[in-house]
């Protein structure tokens, strides 16, 4: 607590200075792709940034050690055979991790590689096993690494490493599910959430206090009047506060809840906004941010707009709700291509958000719970964007992957 108070005294309570320019470059083309829901780029401490892409049979990651300003040449982690999908990145200290899927001859194989020198070199990829084609997840904290995926038997499985990915446990079945698995970790505590479709869609939550070896599983949305989808987790690594959001179906609204005791008990669900979807949550240790797309009707025409709700009282209320984007011109959502993705620097007060309008990708920056619409900076045409510190990666037209860094 004293560390956080001291840090707060060093940071002025005001919005961050708006970006004035962004340098943009192509890092993957032609035929290059990124995956949805962020996790690319990632940063372990602000200074070290990692950005990846999948290109035909090659999968590569480029690293920066100067706050994202300069990317070193991409390192090819995998060059086939098979088609890559679902690239996810994670970083902790000097370690960086990559998780992806490979489709070949009608089968699937989940692949993993690690770097222990800030992305300069990578281990040979290893196969974790077969998976169902839903977005897998990687969570990292210190030398602990956890990979969560939808196994062919229908369970959400996790494999765990306590030695920075040098070896992994046998798969642990957390529970049966349908899709949308997410995971976070801090120390020996591991949290996994996912969706089920048993009669109605609902949100499941698994909590482990022994580094992912065993889990206590609950159907955490069971008492809600309507089904739920799209769970997303966030954690403040200093206090251990865990945040969970999901989307409910009728009405289409976002719900937030949190745990202050390592997932043993949870707050009452708090409705954030409706009609809205694609909720994400980030926690910088003091402020909690929830980004989402809100459905607005203008003369009977749908416009999906980027909204941000901010809590300044530890998640008890979210009174500060801002339409960051204004009109986007997006009438129909295509998968997660327009999902706003937040990034918060735990303990430092910095916040970033990428969002999409009809003309392309934008990035907003803020500090200490203040994010102004005027902070938006245009990055370029494209979709499926995500930020980390002052960097962003997104899918540009014609299967090009772009990287931008702003100042």
- Dump pLDDT digits (tens) for 109-149: 999 999 999 999 999 999 999 999 999 999 999 999 999 99
Together in a domain, 248 and 337: no
Query: Residue 193: its pLDDT value, please?
Result: 98
Tokens of 244: 């969970």
Together in a domain, 21 and 77: no
Together in a domain, 193 and 276: yes
Q: How many CA atoms lie within 13 A of 398 on its CB side?
A: 4
Nearest Cα neighbor of 232 from 209, 262, 255, 259 is 255
Together in a domain, 300 and 348: no
- For 37-50, the DSSP string reads SS-SSEESSSS-EE
- Whether the per-residue pLDDT at 52 is higher than 70: the answer is yes
The residue range of the domain holding 9 is 1-30+305-318+331-407
Q: pLDDT (tens digit, 9 = 90+) per residue, 351-398?
A: 999 999 999 999 999 999 999 999 999 999 999 999 999 999 999 999
Could you tell me if 99 and 122 are in contact, meaning their C-beta atoms sit under 8 angstroms apart?
A: no
Together in a domain, 255 and 381: no
Sign, Cα dihedral of 225, 229, 230, 232? positive
Query: Residue 60: its pLDDT value, please?
Result: 97
Tokens of 229: 């989808």
The residue length of the chain stands at 407
Q: How far is CA 41 from CA 46, 80, 92, 352, in A?
A: 11, 22, 13, 12
Query: Residue 18: its pLDDT value, please?
Result: 86
Angle made by CA atoms 242, 247, 251, in degrees to the nearest 5: 140
Query: Residue 4: its pLDDT value, please?
Result: 41
Together in a domain, 98 and 241: yes
Query: Residue 283: its pLDDT value, please?
Result: 97
Q: Average pLDDT for residues 328-333, to the nearest whole number?
A: 98
Rounded Cα–Cα distance for residues 113 and 98 (Å): 5
Together in a domain, 229 and 244: yes
Together in a domain, 285 and 175: yes
Q: Average pLDDT for residues 228-237, to the nearest whole number?
A: 96
Q: Average pLDDT for residues 235-239, to the nearest whole number?
A: 93
Together in a domain, 285 and 390: no
Rounded Cα–Cα distance for residues 95 and 121 (Å): 11
Rounded Cα–Cα distance for residues 278 and 121 (Å): 35
Q: CATH number of the domain that 163 lies in?
A: 2.120.10.10
Query: Residue 14: its pLDDT value, please?
Result: 44
Together in a domain, 236 and 94: yes
Banded model confidence at residue 321, pLDDT cuts 50, 70, 90: very high
Query: Residue 16: its pLDDT value, please?
Result: 63
Beta strands in 151-287 (DSSP E): 155-161, 172-176, 179-186, 189-198, 200-208, 216-219, 228-235, 242-248, 253-259, 270-273, 276-283
Together in a domain, 10 and 108: no
Banded model confidence at residue 57, pLDDT cuts 50, 70, 90: confident
Phi then psi for 396, rounded to 5 degrees?
-85, 165
Query: Residue 320: its pLDDT value, please?
Result: 84
Query: Residue 46: its pLDDT value, please?
Result: 82
Could you tell me if 360 and 376 are in contact, meaning their C-beta atoms sit under 8 angstroms apart?
A: no
Tokens of 224: 């809600």
Together in a domain, 326 and 359: no
Rounded Cα–Cα distance for residues 45 and 236 (Å): 14
Give residues with Cβ within 8 angstroms of 373, minimum separation 6: 322, 323, 324, 325, 326, 364
Could you tell me if 395 and 407 are in contact, meaning their C-beta atoms sit under 8 angstroms apart?
A: no
Rounded Cα–Cα distance for residues 336 and 249 (Å): 17
Instruction: Please state which of the ranges 4-13, 142-151, 186-195, 240-249 shows the lowest mean pLDDT.
Output: 4-13
Q: pLDDT (tens digit, 9 = 90+) per residue, 154-179?
A: 999 999 999 999 999 999 999 999 99
Say how many domains are in the chain: 2
Q: Average pLDDT for residues 47-59, to the nearest whole number?
A: 94
- Whether the per-residue pLDDT at 306 is higher than 60: the answer is yes
- Whether the per-residue pLDDT at 9 is higher than 70: the answer is no
Nearest Cα neighbor of 53 from 75, 69, 37 is 75
Using the structure block, give the residue that is written with the tokens 């209320």: 317
């Amino acid at each position: 607590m004293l560390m956080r108070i001291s840090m707060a005294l060093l940071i002025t309570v005001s919005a961050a200075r708006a970006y004035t320019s962004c340098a943009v470059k192509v890092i993957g083309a032609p035929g290059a792709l990124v995956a949805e829901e962020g996790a690319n780029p990632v940063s372990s401490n602000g200074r070290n940034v990692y950005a990846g892409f999948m290109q035909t049979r090659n999968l590569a990651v480029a690293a920066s050690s100067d706050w994202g300003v300069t990317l070193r040449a991409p390192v090819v982690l995998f060059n086939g055979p098979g088609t890559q999908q679902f690239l996810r990145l994670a970083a902790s200290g000097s370690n960086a991790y990559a998780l992806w899927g490979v489709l070949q001859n009608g089968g699937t194989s989940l692949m993993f590689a690690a770097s222990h020198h800030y992305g300069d070199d990578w281990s040979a990829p290893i196969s974790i096993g077969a998976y169902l084609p839903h977005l897998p997840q990687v969570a990292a904290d210190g030398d602990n690494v956890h990979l969560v995926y939808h196994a062919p038997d229908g369970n959400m499985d996790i494999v765990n490493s306590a030695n920075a990915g040098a070896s992994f446990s046998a798969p642990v079945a957390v529970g049966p599910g349908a899709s949308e698995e997410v995971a976070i970790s801090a120390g020996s505590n591991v949290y996994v959430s996912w969706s089920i479709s048993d009669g109605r869609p609902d949100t499941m939550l698994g909590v482990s206090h022994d580094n992912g070896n065993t889990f206590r599983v609950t159907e955490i949305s069971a008492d809600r009047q309507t089904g739920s989808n799209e769970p997303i987790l966030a954690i403040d690594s200093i206090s251990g506060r865990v945040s969970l959001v999901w989307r409910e179906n009728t009405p289409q609204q976002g719900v937030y809840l949190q745990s202050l005791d390592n997932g043993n008990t949870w707050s009452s669900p708090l409705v954030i906004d409706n009609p809205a979807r694609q909720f994400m949550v980030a926690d910088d240790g003091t402020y909690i941010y929830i980004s989402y797309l809100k459905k607005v009707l203008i003369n009977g025409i749908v416009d999906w707009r980027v909204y941000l709700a901010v809590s300044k009282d530890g998640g008890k209320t979210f009174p500060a709700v801002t339409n960051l984007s204004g009109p986007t011109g997006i009438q129909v959502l295509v998968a997660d291509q327009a999902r706003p993705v937040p990034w918060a620097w735990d303990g430092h007060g910095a916040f970033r958000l990428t969002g999409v309008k009809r003309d392309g990708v934008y990035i907003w920056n803020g500090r200490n719970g203040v994010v102004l619409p005027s902070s938006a900076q245009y990055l370029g045409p494209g979709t499926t964007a995500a930020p980390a510190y002052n960097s962003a990666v997104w899918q540009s037209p014609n299967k090009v992957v772009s990287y931008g860094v702003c100042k």
